[in-house]
Amino acid sequence: MNLNDINKLDFVQLLMKQFGVNPLYKSEKSIWVISPFRPNELTPSFHISKMYKYDIWFDHGNGLGGKIVDFYLHYLKTDLKGVLKYFNENSFSFQKQNDFLIERNIKETQTKNEYEILKLKEISSFPLIQYLEERKLPLEIVNRYCKEIHYKLNGKYYYAIAFPNIQNGYEIRNKYVKMCLVKKDISLIKNNQNQVKIFESWSDFISYIFLFPAQEFLSDFLILNSISLLRKKSELINNYKKIETYFDHDTAGKSATIFLENELKNKVKDDSSFYKNFKDLNEFIIHLKG
């Protein structure tokens, strides 16, 4: 499969299979879905147009858009080689556009994904352990903060790594899935300290514990799970006397640091300089252990 083959796929069917979204059809050529970037939004903000040679998408929540390959560049945070590798290795069954049967009347009545959490246990499934090894995340540390979750979504069964948040929801990850179950919110690991270290993702947090094991219980840890939650949590963050940030080295991460520095002044310290040549902390340890 090459890049052109990927762009020829039916994007609606692709999103249904991978993310369990239920499309809302304004017409056969204009479809709205819940954004994969914001799986807990209440109103669909992700538009797909079928008026052109390829399916064209636009996310009204973040201003991004393009063809299917462009979506996976943003979603996977990778390059073109990474997108090709993802499609050629993953286990989903991709079909061409003319294979997709639109069940319009049924889909328009479905507004929420139907899911059921079946089991939570210690991580032991080989594909998940292999995924952690690829990310250079030690299983022994991950098992202290995450679980293996088995769940049913829209009638199909899945399993993944689950990282809990303060709303009893879970960030769900495996090689092919990046989503949230129940409700999106931050994760807060309390060690009864007056200082907090803030990360964008659980993988960055685990990476930090791996690099600095002596620090595991000397701070509280706040994992945003979505950079968009930062502004809503500034009051909570302000309860701490000392705040250290470990954000991604991209526009969103830099903007988040500036926001906190402006809001909370000299309480905030950007402590990300030691991985300044890498996109994030997890990418840094992948290089370090590679």
The answer to whether 142 touches 129, Cβ cutoff 8 Å, is no
8 A C-beta contact, residue 55 and residue 67: yes
Among 31-45, 78-92, 104-118, the minimum mean pLDDT is found in 104-118
In this prediction, residue 17 carries a pLDDT of 75
Mean pLDDT for the stretch of residues 148-162: 88
Angle formed by the axes of helices 281-289 and 202-211, to 10°?
50
Q: Which of 25-34, 70-79, 168-177, 228-237 has the lowest mean pLDDT?
A: 25-34
pLDDT tier for residue 113 given thresholds of 50, 70 and 90: low
The pTM for the full model equals: 0.63
Contacts of 201 (CB under 8 A, 6+ apart): 171, 223, 224, 225, 280, 282
3-state DSSP call for residue 193? coil
> What pLDDT is stored for residue 2 in this prediction?
87
Q: Confidence class of residue 29 from pLDDT cuts 50, 70 and 90?
A: confident
Distance CA 74, CA 81 (A): 13
Q: How confident is the model at residue 189 (pLDDT cuts 50, 70, 90)?
A: very high
Rounded-to-integer distance, Cα 74 and Cα 57, Å: 12
